[in-house]
Amino acid sequence: MTILDSFNLSGKVALVTGVGRGLGHGMAVALAEAGADIAGLYLTDCALTETAVTSLGRKFLPLPCDLQTATVDDLNQVVAHVQTELGRLDILVNNAGIIRRAPAVEFSETDWHAVVQINLNALFFLSQAAGRVMVAQGSGKIINIASMLSFQGGITVPAYTAAKSAVAGLTKALANEWAAAGVNVNAIAPGYMATDNTAALRADEKRNAAILERIPAARWGTPEDLSGVTVFLASAASDYVNGAVIPVDGGWLAR
């Protein structure tokens, strides 16, 4: 096997959450370009992603699911449905997430629970369901989406920071348990990306300028900037990478 062969995902099945837009769309398409069939979990619409994946000659299984209300049993059934319809499960990308902004003294209980439910609780229980399958088959790749706020505190995003810090810790905890079974658990920590979650920041002229001044690459990231590291972590090329949180941030943390 050559080094390029080790990145080939032909015959693999990937489950990607939040697949309808932004980072989830970009990562799903990247995995399909590398050869994987895609099960796409979405809330409102995933037509563009489905078209992009199937145009590459790959299968696409749409999975409507509201992670805000999904139970543990619902998530177990998602994994079982992927196995039934696509025959296997090799890769899980926990991408879906939301953010709520307010000063800590004003942050509501409703917003706190909503952010933690999607960004942490659903991520863990979906990983648990996938982990059972992957440990039993002796192979698998789980990729969590962390954040710059897995390393830093942020401003007016206490629930998001708490959840994303927990995602970094959980990534290491699951890697400790499952690495010996052939299951790699790692995380990507995107920097400031031009997605719906950052629309308010980009629309704020002062915040936008301050952020760009801090990024050595001098630009906001794009979903395509995550393509390479996603395929790497999903492939045999990363078989000895366990419990890593890899920043893709244009140099933000180095500044």
In degrees rounded to 5, what are phi and psi of residue 37? -80, 150
42 is catalytic: no
Residue type, 214: R
DSSP 90-152: -EEEE---------GGG--HHHHHHHHIIIIIHHHHHHHHHHHHHHHHT-EEEEEE--GGGTS
Selected catalytic residue, list 42, 160, 192, 240: 160
Q: In what order do the strands lie in the sheet with 37-42?
A: 60-64, 37-42, 13-17, 91-94, 140-145, 183-190, 245-248
End-to-end CA distance of the chain: 38
Contact (Cβ atoms closer than 8 angstroms) between residue 202 and residue 195: no
Residue of 150, 162, 133, 217 lying closest to 187 (CA atoms): 150
- The tokens of 117 are what? 């439910």
Place of tokens 């970094």: 168
Calpha distance 191→193 (Å, rounded): 6
Could you give the residue numbers annotated as active site? 160
